[in-house]
Amino acid sequence: MSFIATPQSMHFDEPLPLQGGGSIRDYDLAYETYGQLNADRSNAVLVCHALNASHHVAGVYEGQPKSEGWWDNMIGPGKPVDTNRFFVIGINNLGSCFGSTGPMHLHPDTGRVYGADFPVVTVEDWVDAQARLLDRLGIAQLAAVLGGSLGGMQALSWSLRHPQRMRHAVVVASAPNLNAENIAFNEVARRAIVTDPDFHGGHFYAHGVVPARGLRIARMIGHITYLSDDVMNQKFGRQLREGIDLKYSTQDVEFQIESYLRYQGEKFSSYFDANTYLLITRALDYFDPARAHGGDLTQALSVARARYLLVSFTTDWRFAPARSREIVKSLLENNRDVSYAEIDAPHGHDAFLLDDPRYMSVMRSYFDGIAQETQTAAKEAA
């Protein structure tokens, strides 16, 4: 049984300038906090989410015992990121569909639902929005920014945009940018959504429909790429759904893996917003801090001041270890303090959300170190 989490929301009147041009104003950010901010406000840890996640990082909601946050195994009292020692903040990003302002909300200029007119937001925009929320919470410097996958990109971006505002960046199962294959998978998912007749150019809300067909396909593709080949073979292999007999049908479910994917697609399409899917996959595509430096990642990371932990997983073919190693190499070339763990885990990209003991142990040790340094600094200041 986990602790009780309480979602909160903060409103921002002032326009936030966006990387793609223009700005967004009158928006809300949903967030949650766990643990206590210490006296010198030095124990705050920001957790950034990936595609299908939110500010609800840990704990459960009152009266909903099965509503564990998406990283509840990692964050909480006595857990690797120990909320008895850290003040942990989860924020839902702009454009998402879990509480912060997104495409399903009203455009303040027109009074109509944003839909496809919601501005394209980037990792950098999210980081800046998060920084404003921290301003309002009175947190000048974070002990750490932590994230996996797209969340890891945010942690990396934080260390470049706000180098003085954080002591540690913990970048899990991430990459300095997406490669062509990753962009390709995102593009197929987007095309499935955009070409669904129920998408209506992104203004499906007004038609009382959702492009569920497209969302299902998008999620099925996603699921394949989150898992490793090995774990899929181990979990499903060529198992048939109904005993030992083949039905010889092109449209019915025949194999267990088909049943699993259809179920995942169906579930996802019932709650995820199609425009959010487009926005978040585009944020993934666009992220590329080296771009402004002619592709030179080492130069891009030269402004970094944080200390880093990078973690990758051997069977993750979406954000392969080689991509994490690129970041490690560029940080070392900048004489940054970097720890790197390459975890031999069978679960593919999904591994970053699972309970691999070596992974958990690496995270626990690293955050123990941060906690000790935070306490020492607090004592010295006292």
Question: Contact residues for a second copy (CB under 8 A)?
Answer: 19-21, 116, 120, 122, 177-181, 183-185, 187-188, 190-192, 194-197, 202, 213, 216-217, 220-221, 223-224, 227, 229, 232-233, 235-238, 246, 248-251, 254-255, 257-258, 261-262, 265, 275, 278-279, 282, 285-286, 288, 291, 317
User: Whose Cβ is closer to a second copy: residue 195's or residue 372's?
Assistant: 195
Q: Which amino acid is at 142?
A: L
Measured in whole angstroms, how far is the alpha carbon of residue 5 from the centre of its chain?
A: 19
Least separation, in Å, of the C-beta of 199 and a second copy?
10
What are the structure tokens assigned to 77, written together? 């009292």
Q: Half-sphere exposure of 20 toward its Cβ, with a 13 Å CA cutoff?
A: 14
User: Whose Cβ is closer to a second copy: residue 16's or residue 120's?
Assistant: 120
Cα separation, 112 vs 206, whole angstroms: 10
| CB-count exposure of residue 376 (10 Å: 0-12, 13-18, 19+) | exposed
DSSP labels, 115-146: GGGSPP--HHHHHHHHHHHHHHHT-SSEEEEE
Least separation, in Å, of the C-beta of 46 and a second copy?
25
Least separation, in Å, of the C-beta of 217 and a second copy?
5
User: Whose Cβ is closer to a second copy: residue 173's or residue 279's?
Assistant: 279
User: Whose Cβ is closer to a second copy: residue 278's or residue 304's?
Assistant: 278
Per DSSP, 236 falls in state: T
Q: Is 316 part of the annotated catalytic residue set?
A: yes
Least separation, in Å, of the C-beta of 177 and a second copy?
6
Per DSSP, 334 falls in state: T
State the angle between helix axes of 123-137 and 150-161 in degrees (0 to 180), rounded to the nearest 10. 70
Q: Per the residue annotation, which of 2, 312, 349, 350 is the catalytic one?
A: 349
User: Whose Cβ is closer to a second copy: residue 26's or residue 285's?
Assistant: 285
Cβ 317 vs Cβ 348: under 8 Å: yes
Q: Which of 280, 267, 238, 233 is nearest to 255 (CA)?
A: 238
Least separation, in Å, of the C-beta of 251 and a second copy?
6
Q: Is 288 part of the annotated catalytic residue set?
A: no
Q: Is 149 part of the annotated catalytic residue set?
A: yes
Backbone phi, psi, residue 166, to 5°: -150, 145
* Cα separation values, 367 from 85, 153, 169, Å: 10, 19, 11
Q: Per the residue annotation, which of 96, 149, 324, 330 is the catalytic one?
A: 149
Cβ 326 vs Cβ 296: under 8 Å: no
Q: Per the residue annotation, which of 316, 324, 330, 347 is the catalytic one?
A: 316
What are the structure tokens assigned to 158, written together? 């934080």
Least separation, in Å, of the C-beta of 105 and a second copy?
17
User: Whose Cβ is closer to a second copy: residue 83's or residue 269's?
Assistant: 269
Catalytic residues: 149, 316, 349
